[in-house]
Each structure stands twice: as C-alpha cells, then as structure tokens.
Structure 1
Amino acid sequence: MAEAKRTLGSSIEWICDNIKNEFKQALGGAPNSQFVIDPDGKIINASSWSNPTGLRETLAGLVGEVSPPTTVEELGLKQLPPPRLAATGVMVRPQMPGPMRAIVVKPQPSLSPYYVKLRAEIGSGFMQDGLGWMYIGFHLDPLLGVHWNNLAPPLQFRIKTPAGLCVASSQGKAPVLKEEADADPREFLLGLEWDSKILSRTEFADAELILEVDYYACHNDGWCRPFQQRYHIQLMPDRNGGSVRSRGRPGGGGFRNR
C-alpha cells in the first residue's frame, strides 16, 4: 500500500484487497471493474470495465456537477518506477511455444518471506491434448529490495508429480551469468504429459505437483542468504493470474490484471 502511494504520488485513501483477492472475487472477479459504493457499503453503480466518463456522470448524478472539473494533469501525480536494484535484460528470455494461461500456485508455509515469487502457466491446448508445455518463472519481488548475486550458487528446483502426470525435466538449474548481480526472472519451459487412463479427469482437478526451490536472495543492505521454499501447483486456471505483457523482450514480463 505504501509503495503504491509512493510510486503513484497519491494522497487519497486506499482500500487494498487481501492476498487471495477475495473482495475482487466477491464483486465478480472482472480484471478492470469499477464500483461506486456509498458510506453505508451499498453499491450505487457497477461497471464490468472501468469507464472514466461514465464514472464522472455517475458521481455528478449523486453529488452534482463540479465546475470547473479537475483534470488528471492538475492532480500532480508523479509515477515513479520501482527502484533499480540490479541490472536487467541480461538473461535470455524463453520464447513461448504458443498461447499460455496461468495456473494455480500455492506457496506453502515458510518461516521466511517469499523473496522470489513463482508464476506457472500451461499451454492452452494441454487440457484437450494431454501433451504440451509448462512454464515456470521465478520472479524477484520488487517490493522486498532483493536481487540475484551471481557469485552465489544459481537457483535450482525439483518437481514431484502425481501418478499420471510427467514432466520432461523433474529438476533444473538457472544458468550462471557473467554479470555479478541482476534482477531478471529465472524461467524454464518444461514438457508436460498427462495420461488420463491413470489420472482421471475427476482426479485431475485436485492433483498437485510439488515444487521445491533453492535460491540466494541478496539485499541492498548487504546481506545474502540461502532459502529453500515449496510450492504446490494445480494445473487449473488461476482466476487471478492475469496476463503477461512483453515477455520474450529483455526487461519485459510484467503482469497485468493481477
């Protein structure tokens, strides 16, 4: 919340959803919806897609016209990028084999913060064909002020699959870079196969892959520590996964609508 106010230069009050996006889902789960809620908590107006012109008309109908109306330029918002912690654009990004969609990722309890966030996706045709690709990307959390120290051992992971699911590589390791430090994600494309004769469609919805990851997170305060954390992955669409922009371009890969 504080970081959002800092980067947007906003002085208005904010309401922040919880980590599970339960408020968003209760209001329909649309990625860019818009609601006007009165002080008693009653929804006065709802739109499935944000519309500034329609919002102004709704507010004018509720409290009257304002003259002259405030423009965006008059707000004096100064959008600041996240602090640059280390070099970016040094890691070769994988090219996606086709349309991908986010799947459910469940971080397991950990005594340490998840300095690295996992994003997982599968090819859009996997559910029909039982054969395709799975993308896993380990992204540094920009709010936690860490980077990769490439003088330390590189990130590595291990995946355990239930019977009926098979990945082409059950373990992997990030490449070693010449750059001493960077902030690029560590990304992998893994072949994935599903045998519906062993794992039925009914059982598939609850099946989970178990991923363990080892990595070093290094902070600008001077510390560099090893971490081991675990995720459970379900091959079901993540309603909060959003979409990805600029992937495959150095420095790209931001998430939208998450």
Structure 2
Amino acid sequence: MNWHCILVACLMTAACFAQHEQEPPRSNEPVIATRPSEQDKARAAVTAPALNVSEQEVAKAAAAFLDWAGASTAGQREEIRRMLEEAREYKAVGAAFCDEANRTAESDFTRSLLALSVLGEMRSPVGRDCFQKLLHRPLPEKGIVANGENVEQTKLAMLQAKAVDGLAYLRAPVTDREVLWAAGKHPSRIVRAEAIEAYLWNHKDSKEARTTLLKYVQPKERVFVDRVRREPTEEAAAFNRKLTVFLKAHPEAVAPAPKRIEQKGEAAKPPKQNEPPVR
C-alpha cells in the first residue's frame, strides 16, 4: 500500500473540509441600500461651511469647505462659485487653500487637486503666487516607475497642469506670460498640453490666441492647438463632425488599425459575422 499517496489524499481532503467549514468573510461596513439619487439629495441638503470666519479659524473653515465641495453635486456648482467669489478678497482663505494643496501634494493627490481647483475658481490674488511656485517646482528625477512612467513625476505634472488652469483663469498679462512659457518650455508634456488648452479657452478660441500660441508651442505639438473640445451641451453628432475635420487635418493623430494576433502553428481565423476579431 502506498502510504505516501494515502497521506497526501487525506491532507487534501482535510484541507477541503476545513475550507468548507470556514465562516464566510464578513465586513463591518454597513450595507448601503440608498439609491444614488437619494444620496445626491442628502448631500445637497448639507449646509455649506462659512468662509467669512476669523483668521484663527480660517484653516479649519477652508478644510471643512473642501470636504463639503468634494462631496457636492452638480446642482451646487453655482453656489460654490458664489461663495468663492464672495471670499475672493479674503487673502487668508486663499492662503489656506494653497497651504492645503501643498500639504497634501504627496500624501493625498486628489485632495491637493481639489484645493487647487477651488483656489483657481476663487481667482484670488493669493492664487497667482501659489500657482507660480508650484508650476516651477522641479519634477522629481527618481521615483516609482510603472509601465515606463515615473509615477511621482506624473502626479506633480498633473498638479502643475491644474496650476496652469488657475493662472490662465486669472486672465492677466503677467499670468498669461506664465501660461505661454508653460505651453512651450515646461519639461512635462502634460503641462504643455494643458497650458495650450487653458490659454485658448480663456481667450475664447480666438484667432489672435492661436497666432500667439503658435509662437511658443513646440513644432511637433502644434496639433494640440487644433484639438477639438466637446462642450457640455454639445450633441455627439456635432462633436463627431468636428473630430472628423480634426483627424483629416492631422492624420498622425489617427489611431493605427488593430492587428490580429496569430497563435503559433495556426492561421488566424476570420471573425464571424457581427463578431469582433481577436485582439
């Protein structure tokens, strides 16, 4: 008798029974049965934290406002804009948003991005210095590399792109110069592309803005000046027409046709009718 085989079989059987007898995994998180529409109603009912507070309380108020704004609904967009416009000249609030963006730049990327977005919408005089300092922060040379991309570089570049949005939205000659510099000379393509888009949008896509941009944009990146933008109320058919014109003008932007993968020793079979080919 092969005792070794019997022993292995017994162990496997015992393991199967033990696995079967284990309790199913449990979670301490409550089951959420609320519909998204009801969740939106609940979020919309939350009162916005006030920003007209004393300087001693402004940091706490700014943090609470970011919490509220981050969980707000699309219907509260105008309320957020109104509150930020009212607080525009209160430099302590703008400084608090800037501090929060810098504090969380490495530890909480989405929080930092939110703080920069709010500061940009505020159009505060404090925002200019905050955005300029962030824009000129050197990209890290070392960091985690995933799929050939330096994650730390990409994160900072995305924050700098948001800073460019804020500078462009200020719509002042001094900030426009920063945006034009970024469009042509910033080391990150992410920032250069966003600077081009932000400059055009804030100058209403005028011919003058395009002419000015072309003086700064790198020759291989002039395609970004012609990029199409889908407006919030634009229908798909109208956008597709613009996209077709763009692709005809820039055939290099057309994605290459997909290639069918052939398995070893076997010719690729043609796809059946209404069936996509194997990629």
TM-score, normalised with respect to structure 2: 0.20
Structure number with higher strand proportion: 1
Bigger Rg, structure 1 or 2: 2
TM-score, normalised with respect to structure 1: 0.21
